[in-house]
Chain A
């Protein structure tokens, strides 16, 4: 056993660093590091830069335009990207739908959609949750009824992240009411410009527009947009979720947030010394850092063991621990700026707003970000649901 990177891995890391130095636009990294709002165009720009280099589809095999990297390489890459301040790669097409298509879809679907994801032609939204079907996803009610060459879809999806940008949605729909609820679900690809689709914003408690309600009324979806087989959608949906969960664990995000916490706490003074030297605060920071160190290895052990495959129920363990750590760091960031966590100036998060910030640099989004990140333990299957999965599937309870 050797917990150090091999010479090849170090060389790879240097290659990634050089690439980021040359290709990551300073305008983007400045925004990301300051916690400013990232626009659709920003995301698309970053996707296209990665795609040009062939580094966009981390989780896809090489023959479909993926990187074919080892888990360690992926880890290095993500870490370098986050610490350089790149925008996130939007997961819906790349880390969620892509692997499902590769695993389960027809060649026609693969040939149509995978290149479009890479080229940024489509922005995908995830149409899973419904008002009545959150944790109990299998109880979903959105109906798709076959009429000739089309499905007619009626229902409501909710919480659709960045659905306002989407032109396509992968959607779980009910095609049968017979048998167990899981047995009547299908996985449909829906063009969001089809008549009968209405997207309405849901404003979150931090005042942001990140999620949406999507109403579907008599939406005509061509039958060829069905992925895999009818009524087998639950299998695909679950496969996708293990990818989603592993991503939510977010070790790289946690590490970069911890770096930020160190910077912020160094610049704050309490009792005549930097806050980072305040025994109580230093202890809180050290504890989360220790947790994160162990969690990083935990994550690597699991993804290394899974290899090319999606991790199994172990991804639930990662999701729980990873989100608890990330939330703890956002809590400390909020505390770190003391009274200056109070001011709420969302307008200053837009690029081009040159108003002088209130309080220390970068304090503005910290409280909002703490509240926003409560979502980490809710979405992708809440942490309670993850515990149920683990206790049933791993512990035999």
Chain B
């Protein structure tokens, strides 16, 4: 075993960290989040120039990375800066299905994604699917030379600004069966699509997307008909790497802000960090952050293994991260007293992001149950 990053990855980490440290403080972050798009297009272009979008994608689609380690390195940095630009929506959730199963033409489109000119979003969740991946009521009907898609998609991350959507729709089977889900690459402005964008609690944006008889050609299908579930699983696996790594970045910053505060804030004539009741809790926070880092390693190291091994670790990681993020988010606020309750102060925003990560790609309980079920499959 060895735990060190390769030299290239270390450089990637340094580049990203430097950009965040020099150019993306909390004020910039809030200003970007407040823009109508929910992020800053110029900053996005700069990220593209730095190669950060390309680093999330493999060479066969024009990228120069795309492994779990690449994703983890970048997202950890993004987490440190609470970055609101659409890395997860475009670089992971939107791009991964195409990397996984896309046609040559679809893959060619990823060049514009890497260049920062095309934005993607994964329109998969539905108003009552909650976190269940197989729950898809949206239907795609075969027409003469293509498909017609009808259904509603919920809380589509950056769905309001995406140029192209990866839409899941059922081409056969019951509303909740794994078989029969197909994925389609759809122009976001196609006739029949209505989007209602809104801001999220943690600073990003999402959209409700209604598809009413949206016509797409046969070439819109990603992978083969009815096999979407496996592609989605592989996509979510990368998504969980991203969210877990983002968490580690945000957790470490939260810890550092809190430690600094505990050393400087004085009550009863002493730094509050000198109170044992608080010291012990801060130690627990630090232990849990180490656990979070291990969660990232677990899922990164099994990303390319067989489906069962990978998915077991995906659920393990997301469950762990969910528990740790809640603990740290709450402790950070509590240990500050009133201070971290304010908009003005950064720590509260980290707590919000850490908390809302539990509402993406399945929450703590969802993945606990899934882990139990997956573990039972081999027993």
Partner of A207, one of B333, B343, B351, B365: B343
A359 within 8 A of B: yes
Nearest-Cβ distance from residue A246 to partner chain B, whole angstroms = 21
B355 within 8 A of A: yes
Q: Contacting chain A: which of B72-80, B192-200, B238-246? A: B192-200
Which B residues touch A134, using CB under 8 A?
A: 267, 337-338
Which of chain B's residues has its CB closest to A136's CB? B267
Q: Contacting chain B: which of A1-9, A36-44, A73-81, A331-339? A: A331-339
Please classify how large the interface on chain B is, using the bins under 10, 10 to 19, 20 to 34, 35 or more: 35 or more
Which of chain A's residues has its CB closest to B340's CB? A205
Which B residues touch A383, using CB under 8 A?
A: 334
Q: Evaluate contact between B343 and A204: CB separation under 8 angstroms.
A: yes
Q: Evaluate contact between B334 and A374: CB separation under 8 angstroms.
A: yes
Q: A280-B365, A340-B154 are in contact. Are A378 and B341 (CB under 8 A)?
A: yes
Which of chain B's residues has its CB closest to A335's CB? B363
A-B contact count (CB 8 A): 132
Which A residues touch B326, using CB under 8 A?
A: 331
Which of chain A's residues has its CB closest to B363's CB? A335
Q: A335-B365, A339-B155, A374-B341 are in contact. Are A135 and B267 (CB under 8 A)?
A: yes
Q: Binary interface profile of B, 193-224, with partner A (CB < 8 Å = 1, else 0)? A: 00010111110001010000000000000000
Please classify how large the interface on chain A is, using the bins under 10, 10 to 19, 20 to 34, 35 or more: 35 or more
Q: Evaluate contact between B341 and A269: CB separation under 8 angstroms.
A: no
Q: Evaluate contact between B127 and A271: CB separation under 8 angstroms.
A: no
Q: Evaluate contact between B267 and A368: CB separation under 8 angstroms.
A: no
Which B residues touch A252, using CB under 8 A?
A: none
Q: Binary interface profile of A, 257-300, with partner B (CB < 8 Å = 1, else 0)? A: 00000000000111110010011110010000000000000000
Nearest-Cβ distance from residue A266 to partner chain B, whole angstroms = 13
Q: Contacting chain A: which of B14-22, B84-92, B128-136? A: B128-136
Which B residues touch A205, using CB under 8 A?
A: 340-343, 348-349, 351-352
Q: Evaluate contact between A382 and B130: CB separation under 8 angstroms.
A: no
Which A residues touch B342, using CB under 8 A?
A: 202-205
Q: Binary interface profile of A, 338-360, with partner B (CB < 8 Å = 1, else 0)? A: 11111111000000000000110
Which B residues touch A370, using CB under 8 A?
A: 355
Which B residues touch A116, using CB under 8 A?
A: none
Nearest-Cβ distance from residue A199 to partner chain B, whole angstroms = 16
A171 within 8 A of B: no
Which B residues touch A278, using CB under 8 A?
A: 365, 369
Closest 8 CB pairs of A and B: A205-B348, A136-B267, A203-B343, A339-B155, A280-B365, A344-B201, A338-B130, A367-B201
The contact sample of 15 A-B pairs, CB cut-off 8 A, is A134-B337, A136-B269, A139-B267, A205-B341, A205-B348, A270-B131, A271-B369, A335-B365, A339-B154, A343-B155, A358-B198, A374-B330, A374-B341, A382-B337, A384-B275
Q: A159-B338, A279-B369, A344-B198 are in contact. List 5 more A-B contacts (CB 8 A).
A: A338-B130, A342-B200, A367-B356, A378-B341, A379-B338
Q: Interface residues, chain A, CB within 8 Å of chain B?
A: 129, 132, 134-136, 139, 158-159, 202-205, 207, 268-272, 275, 278-281, 284, 331, 334-335, 338-345, 358-359, 367-368, 370-371, 374-375, 377-379, 382-384, 387
